[in-house]
């Protein structure tokens, strides 16, 4: 009796141990962790990302968003394998670094506004031979301004570099800058602070990426399922916002995101997403080949990309997005 008991206890313990082992293994396989490098501080424009992260978590994909000082640092984190997915548009790095890195999703397209002081300029032609201020050498803001100069047959006397839309906005208001290019939030700030003093010049169809997601090819191949789930959630969020921007407010409340937001910034959420939805900033289809082609053209113009025969497949991995779009109705 005693001997039988001892055997059965040992067998039971062994069984429990084995079940536990396989169970925890299965659990580990079910949950995938993605280290996400963001080259910015988390603010209201990251709300679609944060909502998608929460929804992906419910489907077994834990996306850990880490903020870095700049896009370059975030790109380096991905290149050196310290992060899995990065956010930004490091096309030059993708072209030049030996590690195969691919974009797989367009988070948002560029939305910038050339703002000029009406006291000095009213149209693009007035900027002929004048000084303009942009974000940085080789940046998207410079490329937009050069593209417009080409379109209107004008040349600038000088291009100065002042990083940060908020800094350039203050420069405009103080009168030290007369013509520059701002993001949506700072454009609204300038127009509200000094009504009638500034005008926005039309930019036409510039549809390059502002933020895209990228990862090493090895990571994308190894974690296809998790990446697809994450992309599906991102697409769903964008479609919901484009259908009704109020979705961001509701989802933020429901998921308890950015709880410490000051009331001033909280009030900006709705106008920001209304304008973004109207301007087609958040693509319904994740960008894909269309975004890739636009980006290659745009970043070649900006000087970031070199060479003539630029191929989409050398920069983008379209498979995860295609599979995700097939699953999202």
Footprint of other proteins (CB under 8 A): 72, 76, 79-80, 90, 92-93, 95-99, 136-139, 160-163, 167, 171, 174, 176, 303-304
How far is 57 from 49, CA to CA, in rounded Å? 12
Question: Residue 115: helix, strand or coil by DSSP?
Answer: strand
Q: Which is nearer to other proteins, 125 or 306 (CB)?
A: 306
- Give the shortest CB-95-to-other proteins separation in angstroms: 7
Q: Which is nearer to other proteins, 91 or 124 (CB)?
A: 91
Strands 32-38 and 85-88, sheet pairing: parallel
Residue 123 in tokens? 């149209």
Cβ-based nearer residue to other proteins, 86 or 90: 90
**How near is the Cβ of 100 to other proteins at its closest, in Å?**
10
Closest by CA position to 219, among listed 328, 86, 89, 96: 86
Nearer to other proteins, 60 or 138 (CB): 138
Residue with smaller CB distance to other proteins, 96 or 122 = 96
List of E strands, 172-220: 179-183, 198-200, 209-216
Q: Which is nearer to other proteins, 65 or 167 (CB)?
A: 167
Of the candidates 238, 269, 326, which has an alpha carbon nearest to the alpha carbon of residue 51?
Answer: 238
Minimum distance between the CB of residue 97 and other proteins, rounded to whole angstroms? 5
Give the closest residue to 179 by CA, choosing from 210, 222, 149.
149
Nearest to 213 by CA among 98, 327, 69, 53: 53
Question: In angstroms, what is the minimal distance from the CB of 103 to other proteins?
Answer: 15
Of 247, 245, 282, 252, residue with least CA distance to 266: 252
Least separation in angstroms between residue 317's CB and other proteins is 18
Q: How far is the CB of 167 from other proteins (least distance, A)?
A: 7
């Amino acid at each position: 009796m005693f001997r039988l008991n001892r055997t059965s206890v040992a067998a039971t313990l062994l069984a429990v141990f084995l079940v536990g082992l396989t169970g925890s293994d299965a659990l580990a396989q079910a949950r995938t962790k993605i280290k996400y490098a963001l080259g910015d501080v988390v603010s209201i424009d990251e709300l679609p990302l944060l909502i998608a992260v929460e929804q992906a978590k419910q489907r077994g994909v834990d996306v850990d968003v880490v903020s870095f000082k700049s896009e370059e640092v975030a790109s380096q984190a991905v290149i050196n394998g310290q992060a899995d997915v990065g956010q930004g548009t490091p096309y030059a790095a993708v072209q030049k670094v030996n590690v195969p890195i691919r974009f797989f999703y367009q988070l948002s397209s560029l939305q910038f506004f050339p703002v000029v002081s009406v006291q000095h300029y009213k149209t693009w032609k007035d900027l002929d031979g004048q000084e303009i201020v942009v974000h940085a050498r080789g940046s998207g803001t410079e490329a937009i301004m050069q593209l417009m100069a080409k379109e209107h047959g004008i040349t600038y006397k000088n291009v100065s570099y002042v990083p940060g839309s908020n800094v350039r906005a203050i420069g405009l208001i103080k009168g030290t800058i007369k013509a520059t290019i701002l993001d949506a939030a700072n454009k609204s700030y300038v127009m509200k602070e000094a009504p009638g003093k500034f005008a926005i010049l039309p930019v036409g169809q510039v549809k390059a990426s502002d933020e895209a997601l990228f990862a090493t090819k090895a990571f994308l191949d190894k974690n296809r399922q998790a990446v697809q789930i994450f992309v599906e959630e991102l697409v769903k969020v964008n479609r919901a916002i484009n259908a009704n921007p109020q979705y961001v407010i509701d989802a933020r409340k429901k998921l308890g995101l950015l709880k410490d937001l000051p009331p001033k910034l909280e009030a900006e959420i709705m106008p920001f997403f209304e304008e973004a939805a109207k301007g087609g900033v958040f693509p319904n289809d994740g960008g894909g080949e269309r975004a890739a082609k636009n980006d290659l053209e745009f970043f070649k113009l900006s000087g970031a990309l070199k060479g003539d025969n630029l191929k989409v497949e050398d920069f983008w991995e379209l498979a995860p997005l295609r599979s995700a779009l097939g699953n999202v109705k």
